Structure 1
Amino acid sequence: MNSYSRAHITVRFTKRNCVPPPRRRSPKPSPSPPEGRPVANMWAFGATDEIRIADPRGTLLRLWSYLDAHRATLVGAAVSILVVSGLSMIPPWLAKHVIDDIIPRSENAGTKLAQIGVALAMVHIARAVLTYVNRYAIAVVGQRVVLTIGREMFGRLERMPMRYFERQESGVTMSRLVNDVNALQQALIGPTVNAAVGIIDMCIYVFILTNLNWRLTLMIVATVPALIVTTRVISDVLRVRYRRVQESAARVNAVLQENVAGVRVARAFARERTELQRFESQNRQNMGANMEAVRVQAIATPTMQMIAAAGTALVMWYGAAQVMTSHTTIGELVAFMTYLIAFYQPIAQFSEVNNVASQALAAADRIFGFLDQPIEAEKPGAVDLPPIRGYVRFEGVSFGYQAEQTVLHDINFDVQSGEVVALVGHTGSGKTSLANLVGRFYDPTAGRVTVDGYDLRDVTLHSLRSRMAIVLQETFLFASTIRANIAYGRLDATDAEVERAARLANADEFIEKLPDGYSFNVAEGGSRLSRGQRQRIALARAILRDPRILILDEATSDVDTETEVQIQAALDRVIEGRTVFVIAHRLSTIRNADKIVVLDHGRLLEIGSHHELIARDGAYRQLIEMQFAPVRASAEPVSVPVA
């Protein structure tokens, strides 16, 4: 194999100089993703998911499948709630006994009242202890369920196909992973307990009230259907409203995320006012969605209170009449009214619980919609890829990002183990798409890609990608130390191995000059380093992985000549003995490759070495001559370099 970078001629195959053929018209939008949600439009400023009404029954049943794993804890909490509810029935009964039995007779009244006081104190202490137990138990279950769902969502995110990230805004995804999970968490911890206690209490109150006075109880029961209908209607409306709130909040998050990531672009083009207007527009939509929910809440609470007040008024009117006709006692009426107030008390809480539960159901619906998204397909029975030599073959490969648009057409060529292959062509010719198929970020729509004879669709993704490394043009570094970013290539690497990889990537010199050396925190995206420094850290990360197949996507673009020389020198050492795919515009990067693949609009035009392609006087030579055209126009004639 030839030396990879003897010459460092910084000539670019750029769109400006090459003047590629006219690009085809933009493709139609891709078909709607699962669940009927439309694909995001970047100019819609975050418009993504359409509002769909949650299926309460299906969502609750699915949520219960997570709670069922903690059945023993929930049963213990339920028993505790039942005992607490039973204890709460005792004070009104004791009040009735005091009014009807102790006060009229007065003998030993002091002793009896003292005993009742002690009994009440013990009841309240027992209630306090048991309330702590059930609330803590349910909070533990809620936190564990949220932890499980969060883990599943993140695991799903890690396995989402690349198409998901292309059509979904990162701010919307963040909203689901954070806001929706938090909404579900709030419902599972607090309101769930209140709702459970309230329902149990109401059932017990109905039983006791019936025993006290069934005629008065009938008046209360007459108001229950109105309460149920009101609650059901309000729940249905709120569920839709809160779905809209969460969707609008997701769009606000999307705008925020984009502005944080693109703050330099916004300021460079003096678009602060435009971005502020954009944010205000989304924020106002979010406020409007919240106000719609608030209006429903504002109607719900007084409506339910009016129903409860009507029931209470009927009981007071009829109960007073019964006392005056001696059909009931004063103590019995007092006890009945006390139980009645306690019976209606959860109704006021139900309004708040209903709001939180509606938010949680809408959030759970979005969460389960996220979990139902398709993941990267792995063929049933896929095998682990054994140690490979790195022989890659493209057999009749065609590919398109959408069904109606093909970006690669019947590609056929092979790459021997240890060869360096340069992918050349104008912007949009299919270079990156071809490289993406090697890493199986996408599957071909026709044909196959093999490594050492294995169809990539027949091997596990982990075993394939663990034998590869990629260095991208837009290098991404995590907000951590330089050592941690290099070690990301192999997490079990020692400090010595990390430093050796840095030396091979020509990164050790600038690292040692930093204030904390390898412990220097590069900040989010590596913003505290220059582009060339980030590229060398990324190269060191790839070196540490020791891959059999290495993909370099514009790894030396947009850096100065001195930095390019350093990166090229590092690449000379790295590529030895590996299969390397190089996507590049610079002649210095590709001229010494073993093979150069020339692409045009997804079709393979030529393949061969630099010398062979120059001799053919075809598309490759024309591309190079276009690069030298400006030089010829302003200076003496320059011959095309062939060595």
Structure 2
Amino acid sequence: MSEQTITGKTYDTKLLRRMARYMRPYQGIFWASVILTILLAAVAPALPMLVEYTLDKYILQSDSSGLTWMLIAMMALLIGQTIIRYYHTLTTNVLGQNVIRDIRIEVFNHITGLRLKYFDNTPIGKLITRTISDLETISNIFSQGLIQIIGDLLQMVVILAVMFYTDWKLTLIVLVPMPLMIWATYIFKEAMKSAFIDVRNWVSNLNTFLQEHISGMAIIQYFSREEQEMRKFEKINRNHRDAHIRANWYFSIFFPVLEIILAIATGLLVWYGSKQILANVISPGVVVAFLMYINMIFRPIRELIDKFNTLQMGMVSAERIFDVLDTDEHTPNNGTIASGNVIGEIAFEHVWFAYNEEKWVLKDVSFQVRRGETLALVGATGAGKSSTINILSRFYEIQRGSILLDGRDIRDYELNYLRKHIATVLQDVFLFADTIFNNITLHNPSISLEQVIKASKDVGAYDFIMQLPGGFDYQVQERGATLSSGQAQLISFIRALVHDPAILILDEATSSIDTETELLIQAAIDKMMVGRTAIVIAHRLSTIQKADKIIVFDKGEIKEMGTHSELLSIDGHYRKLYELQFNSLGI
């Protein structure tokens, strides 16, 4: 569902039923809110009735003693209403926050299980909006929306019942302007619907723009694009402002209209009520009580508009959230193999793969890697090297052929179990804003500090880590900004090593570091590869000369396969690549 197709219905029973599912664990809080809502509605007419009784029976009769007791009763009533309203507000907010916590956890778990293809096509800022801003809006449905609307409507029904019981003619006079209010409310609701959708869309666009540009700030500054990007931001921000102004403009018209309607109702009450008092048909206390009733009817109507708007915004946000939850972009996880040893023998059998079905990235790829062997993948950018390792870990699904691990189709393995035995070290190392220890273990409680220390020594990173303030407790800044590329890469090697994988994948792991660090990392790689199946992607052919097998990719096809010496002996793609890198340097 696209953002443009989201309607933002005020009443969407399907969405409400779906959200009600999240309230089931909190039925006690929910029913407490309902009971308190009923109590508030029940006691709402009590104060005007007391005022009417006090005016007619005590003030007009000059009974000061009775007046004192009635004032005490009024104070007790107000205190009781305040206590009920306090607990009502508390329970509805507690209910809303508990529901939102559960939905946010479900959304996050759902997002983490989505295929990488989904993230290729979905801006990260949009997902941030869904999990934070939209969810906060949904919480208002519970704390300020649905239950409050029911309470206000119930209060209006109770008050109208009391008014009709007290004097039905006077009640009908007061309700003369009501059709005008209903019509104005309908017009306002329809106008606000589109305004709220626009507001939510532009909030999402703002978040997406900011997330992308803050993450890519270095590129903006390298190429002096600050002014141009600022103009783009100004345009989005201007549209966001205009959407809010349009929504507030409707408010600025609607509420004065309500005040005029209230004034008309009050004028009719005073006019007709005064005539009835002079004719001794009703008492002055009835007119005073009706003046209070009018405010108690029209005030909830004004508040109902706000609450309906809150409910409507919540519905828009709920549609967006459930649009994410309904996204069927998960990798099928029907495998049954979740135990036993993984040896690490890999076989690709006539594999065809495309990110979209119009363009094949891999074409009829077949090869085998035995346990403990090192396979190197070389070729030009876009030849299919990274795609090969992505489909091995099932980040993407192949369209034809099969991939075998230890003689079994990788789809026979439980997904987490499969990925647990494959460790990947990427060229672009991602480090979280956390300690070095947590960046290595990824909060896996089964990995001890002793294991991390041993792995860091094996990789050759122990000395530089201990020189940092706090050692393994050193707080890494976002994306490892306070570490060099080589240091970040070494941490990624430790991360791979402590998880003890059967298969190690190195994707351009040494392409962006200096020669000295590369020698250190190359020594670490040699240690890590012992006893493990390894797949290495590298542009620097010097790093793969010891590989047991080298595959040369070109436009998604395997052009050559063999050892370094075998491939050099033929006049083919590999030899051309080798001569381009070494002969041009006079080697």
Alignment of 1:188-587 (within 5 A): 188-192=142-146, 194-380=148-334, 382-384=336-338, 386-488=340-442, 490-587=444-541
Quick one: distance in 2 between partners of 1:89 and 1:396?
79
Instruction: Find the partner of 2:49 among 87, 93, 98.
Output: 93
Quick one: distance in 2 between partners of 1:598 and 1:348?
72
Instruction: Find the partner of 2:58 among 94, 98, 102.
Output: 102
Structure 1 residues 220 and 403: CA distance shift in structure 2, 3 A: farther
Q: What does residue 178 of structure 1 align with?
A: 132
Is residue 156–residue 375 contact of structure 1 (8 Å, CA) maintained in 2?
A: no
Instruction: Find the partner of 2:574 among 609, 613, 620.
Output: 620
Structure 1 residues 380 and 306: CA distance shift in structure 2, 3 A: farther
1:80 aligns with 2:36: yes
Deviation of 1:64 after TM superposition, in Å, equals 2.3
Structure 1 residues 174 and 388: CA distance shift in structure 2, 3 A: same
Deviation of 1:147 after TM superposition, in Å, equals 0.4
Deviation of 1:51 after TM superposition, in Å, equals 5.3
Quick one: distance in 2 between partners of 1:100 and 1:513?
86
Q: Which amino acid aligns with 2:238?
A: R
> Which secondary structure does the structure 1 equivalent of 2:433 belong to?
coil
Structure 1 residues 620 and 381: CA distance shift in structure 2, 3 A: closer
Quick one: distance in 2 between partners of 1:349 and 1:290?
19
Q: What does residue 16 of structure 2 align with?
A: 60
Q: Which amino acid aligns with 1:565?
A: L
1:165 aligns with 2:90: no
Q: Percent identity?
A: 33
Structure 1 residues 472 and 60: CA distance shift in structure 2, 3 A: same
Deviation of 1:302 after TM superposition, in Å, equals 2.2
Is residue 490–residue 544 contact of structure 1 (8 Å, CA) maintained in 2?
A: no
Q: Which amino acid aligns with 1:393?
A: A
Deviation of 1:463 after TM superposition, in Å, equals 0.8
Deviation of 1:346 after TM superposition, in Å, equals 1.1
Structure 1 residues 425 and 90: CA distance shift in structure 2, 3 A: same
Is residue 305–residue 348 contact of structure 1 (8 Å, CA) maintained in 2?
A: no
Q: Which amino acid aligns with 2:226?
A: E
Quick one: distance in 2 between partners of 1:559 and 1:612?
29
Structure 1 residues 514 and 232: CA distance shift in structure 2, 3 A: same
Quick one: distance in 2 between partners of 1:591 and 1:232?
75
Q: What does residue 131 of structure 1 align with?
A: 85
Deviation of 1:381 after TM superposition, in Å, equals 6.0
Q: Which amino acid aligns with 1:512?
A: M
Deviation of 1:548 after TM superposition, in Å, equals 0.3
Deviation of 1:490 after TM superposition, in Å, equals 4.2
Deviation of 1:415 after TM superposition, in Å, equals 1.2
Q: What does residue 547 of structure 2 align with?
A: 593
Quick one: distance in 1 between partners of 2:197 and 2:442?
38
Deviation of 1:437 after TM superposition, in Å, equals 0.7
Deviation of 1:552 after TM superposition, in Å, equals 0.5
Quick one: distance in 2 between partners of 1:296 and 1:403?
48
Is residue 51–residue 244 contact of structure 1 (8 Å, CA) maintained in 2?
A: no
Per-residue CA deviations over 1:409-432 (Å, capped at 9, x if unaligned) read: 111111111111101100000000
Q: Which moved more, 1:80-89 or 1:163-172?
A: 80-89
Q: Which amino acid aligns with 2:198?
A: R
Quick one: distance in 2 between partners of 1:426 and 1:169?
28
Is residue 331–residue 395 contact of structure 2 (8 Å, CA) maintained in 1?
A: no
Is residue 421–residue 593 contact of structure 1 (8 Å, CA) maintained in 2?
A: yes
Is residue 385–residue 459 contact of structure 1 (8 Å, CA) maintained in 2?
A: no
Quick one: distance in 1 between partners of 2:261 and 2:417?
65
Quick one: distance in 1 between partners of 2:452 and 2:255?
63
Quick one: distance in 2 between partners of 1:377 and 1:236?
41
- The number of equivalent residue pairs is 585
Deviation of 1:375 after TM superposition, in Å, equals 3.5
Is residue 430–residue 602 contact of structure 1 (8 Å, CA) maintained in 2?
A: yes
Q: What does residue 105 of structure 2 align with?
A: 151
Q: Give unmatched runs, 5+ long, in structure 1.
A: 1-34, 38-48, 639-643
Deviation of 1:477 after TM superposition, in Å, equals 0.6
Of structures 1 and 2, the one with the larger relative CO (CA 8 A, separation 6+) is: 1
Q: Which amino acid aligns with 1:605?
A: K
Structure 1 residues 628 and 489: CA distance shift in structure 2, 3 A: farther
Quick one: distance in 2 between partners of 1:629 and 1:205?
94
Structure 1 residues 368 and 226: CA distance shift in structure 2, 3 A: farther
Q: Which amino acid aligns with 2:19?
A: L
Is residue 425–residue 507 contact of structure 2 (8 Å, CA) maintained in 1?
A: yes
Deviation of 1:221 after TM superposition, in Å, equals 4.1
Quick one: distance in 1 between partners of 2:438 and 2:27?
42
> Which secondary structure does the structure 1 equivalent of 2:553 belong to?
strand
1:141 aligns with 2:88: no
Quick one: distance in 2 between partners of 1:67 and 1:83?
21
Q: Which amino acid aligns with 1:523?
A: Q
Quick one: distance in 1 between partners of 2:266 and 2:371?
87
Q: Which amino acid aligns with 2:6?
A: R
> Which secondary structure does the structure 2 equivalent of 1:616 belong to?
coil
Deviation of 1:197 after TM superposition, in Å, equals 3.2
Structure 1 residues 450 and 342: CA distance shift in structure 2, 3 A: same
Deviation of 1:224 after TM superposition, in Å, equals 3.9
Is residue 507–residue 536 contact of structure 2 (8 Å, CA) maintained in 1?
A: yes
Tell me the TM-score normalised to structure 2 length. Answer: 0.95
> Which secondary structure does the structure 2 equivalent of 1:50 belong to?
helix
Is residue 424–residue 506 contact of structure 2 (8 Å, CA) maintained in 1?
A: yes
Deviation of 1:104 after TM superposition, in Å, equals 4.3
Q: Give unmatched runs, 5+ long, in structure 2.
A: none
Structure 1 residues 347 and 302: CA distance shift in structure 2, 3 A: same
Quick one: distance in 2 between partners of 1:489 and 1:151?
18
Quick one: distance in 2 between partners of 1:103 and 1:267?
77
